[in-house]
C-alpha cells in the first residue's frame, strides 16, 4: 500500500461541477489547433516541446513548418544542427531545439523509433520531463493519465480555492480524481483552453511557480544576437564584440555557456554553430 498524500478537502460533487464547467467551456470556446488533429506521437512531441513556456499563437507557424520539413522522427534525426536551429530561430529557448533533435536521435536509435516507448522511459530523452512525457502519452493515446503544468496547476488552485503552497503531489492526485475516465485527450485539451482563455494568471492573480528575469539588456538577448550572427558565418570573439557592441566579459560568458549547451563549438579562434 502506497502512502497517500495529504487529503485535500474536495468533494465528489465539487469535482463533478468542475468537470461540467470545464467541458461546457470547451464546447463553446475550444480552439482548433494543428496538433489537435493528429494522433502522430512524434508530431505531438514536437508541439509539446515548442509549447514549453511559449504561447500557442507563436508556436502555430513554427509547428506547421517543422512537421513539413521533418515529418518523422527519423527525418529529424538525420537533420543537421544548424538547420534545426535556423528553423527554431525566433521561437526562443534555443537549447530546446538542440535537445529535441538529440531526443529524435535517442528515440530513433535506442527505442527503434517508438516515441511512446521513449515517453514511458522519459528520463533517457533530452528535453523531455514528466509534464511533456505524460502530455504526449495523453494526446497520442487517450490513456487515463494526467499531467499538471503551470496552467492546470492554476486552474486547480483557483477552482477549488487551494493555497499556492499546495504540494505538487497533492495537485497530481487531485488532477487524477478530476479526470473523466476514457476522455483524457478531450479533457486535457479542455483544461488548456480553459486555462489560457478563462482562468488566466492575470484574472486569478495566481503567479506561476517560476518567474523569469528581465529580457532587455540581459544575457538572453545577447545569446539570441550571437546565434543569429553565427548562423550566417563563423566569427571570432573580437568580431562578434564589434558587431554587437556588447560588453566583452558578458560576451565571453555567453559564448562559454552556449558551447556547454551544444549550440556552438569553438573552431580554433572562431565560434561556429555546432554541427552535431
Binding residue (CB under 7 A) for DNA from 66, 154, 194, 240: 154
Asked if 76 interacts with DNA (CB under 7 A), we say: no
Q: Give the shortest CB-18-to-DNA separation in angstroms.
A: 19
- C-alpha to C-alpha distance for 241 and 253, rounded to whole angstroms: 12
Q: Give the shortest CB-2-to-DNA separation in angstroms.
A: 21
Residue 42 has which C-alpha cell? 512524434
Is the Cβ of residue 9 or residue 209 nearer to DNA in the bound state? 209
Q: What character string, x for contact with DNA (CB under 7 A) and - otherwise, covers 254-273?
A: x--x--xx-x----------
Is the Cβ of residue 18 or residue 139 nearer to DNA in the bound state? 139
Strand order in the sheet with 264-267: 235-236, 270-273, 264-267
Q: Which of 222, 223, 237, 227 is nearest to 269 (CA)?
A: 237
CB atoms within 10 A of CB 273: 22
DSSP 36: G
3-state SS, residue 110: helix
Segment near DNA (CB under 7 A); pick from 68-76, 108-116, 190-198, 233-241? 190-198
Asked if 56 interacts with DNA (CB under 7 A), we say: yes
Instruction: Tell me if residue 48 is catalytic.
Output: yes
Is the Cβ of residue 71 or residue 129 nearer to DNA in the bound state? 129
Q: Give the shortest CB-101-to-DNA separation in angstroms.
A: 13
Q: Which of 198, 151, 140, 199 is nearest to 175 (CA)?
A: 151
Binding residue (CB under 7 A) for DNA from 38, 150, 166, 241: 150
Asked if 212 interacts with DNA (CB under 7 A), we say: yes
Asked if 201 interacts with DNA (CB under 7 A), we say: yes
How far from chain centre, in Å, is Cα 226? 23
Letter string b/e over residues 189-211, b meaning 16 or more CB atoms within 10 A of that residue's CB: bbbbbbbbeebeeeeeebeeeee
Binding residue (CB under 7 A) for DNA from 46, 51, 118, 240: 51
In this structure, are residues 243 and 222 in contact, taking their beta carbons and an 8 Å threshold? no
DSSP 34: G
The DSSP H or E segment spanning 229 is helix 219-232
Binding residue (CB under 7 A) for DNA from 86, 105, 185, 220: 220
Is the Cβ of residue 125 or residue 174 nearer to DNA in the bound state? 125
Asked if 93 interacts with DNA (CB under 7 A), we say: yes
In this structure, are residues 23 and 179 in contact, taking their beta carbons and an 8 Å threshold? no
Residues at the site binding DNA, with contacts judged by CB under 7 A: 33, 48, 51-58, 89-95, 99, 125-133, 135, 149-151, 154, 189, 192, 195-196, 200-202, 207-208, 210-215, 218-221, 223-225, 227-228, 254, 257, 260-261, 263
The residues annotated as belonging to the active site are: 48
Amino acid at each position: 500500500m502506497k502512502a497517500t498524500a495529504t487529503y485535500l478537502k474536495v468533494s465528489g460533487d465539487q469535482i463533478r461541477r468542475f468537470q461540467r464547467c470545464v467541458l461546457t467551456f470547451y464546447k463553446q470556446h475550444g480552439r482548433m489547433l494543428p496538433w489537435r488533429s493528429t494522433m502522430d506521437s512524434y508530431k505531438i512531441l514536437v508541439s509539446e516541446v515548442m509549447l514549453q513556456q511559449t504561447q500557442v499563437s507563436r508556436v502555430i507557424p513554427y509547428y506547421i513548418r517543422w512537421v513539413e520539413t521533418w515529418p518523422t522522427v527519423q527525418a529529424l534525426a538525420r537533420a543537421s544542427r544548424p538547420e534545426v536551429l535556423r528553423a527554431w530561430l525566433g521561437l526562443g529557448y534555443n537549447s530546446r531545439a538542440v535537445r529535441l533533435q538529440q531526443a529524435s536521435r535517442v528515440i530513433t536509435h535506442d527505442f527503434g523509433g517508438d516515441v511512446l516507448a521513449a515517453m514511458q522511459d522519459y528520463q533517457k530523452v533530452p528535453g523531455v520531463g514528466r509534464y511533456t512525457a505524460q502530455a504526449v502519452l495523453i494526446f497520442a493515446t487517450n490513456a487515463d493519465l494526467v499531467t499538471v503544468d503551470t496552467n492546470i496547476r492554476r486552474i486547480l488552485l483557483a477552482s477549488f480555492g487551494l493555497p499556492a503552497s499546495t504540494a505538487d503531489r497533492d495537485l497530481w492526485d487531485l488532477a487524477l480524481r478530476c479526470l473523466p475516465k476514457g476522455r483524457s485527450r478531450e479533457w486535457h485539451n479542455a483544461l488548456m483552453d480553459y486555462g489560457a482563455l478563462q482562468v488566466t494568471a492575470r484574472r486569478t492573480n495566481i503567479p506561476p511557480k517560476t518567474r523569469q528575469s528581465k529580457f532587455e539588456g540581459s544575457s538572453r538577448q545577447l545569446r539570441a544576437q550571437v546565434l543569429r550572427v553565427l548562423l550566417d558565418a563563423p566569427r571570432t570573439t573580437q568580431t562578434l564584440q564589434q558587431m554587437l557592441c556588447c560588453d566583452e566579459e558578458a560576451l565571453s560568458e555567453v559564448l562559454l555557456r552556449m558551447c556547454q549547451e551544444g549550440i556552438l563549438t569553438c573552431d580554433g579562434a572562431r565560434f561556429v554553430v555546432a554541427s552535431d
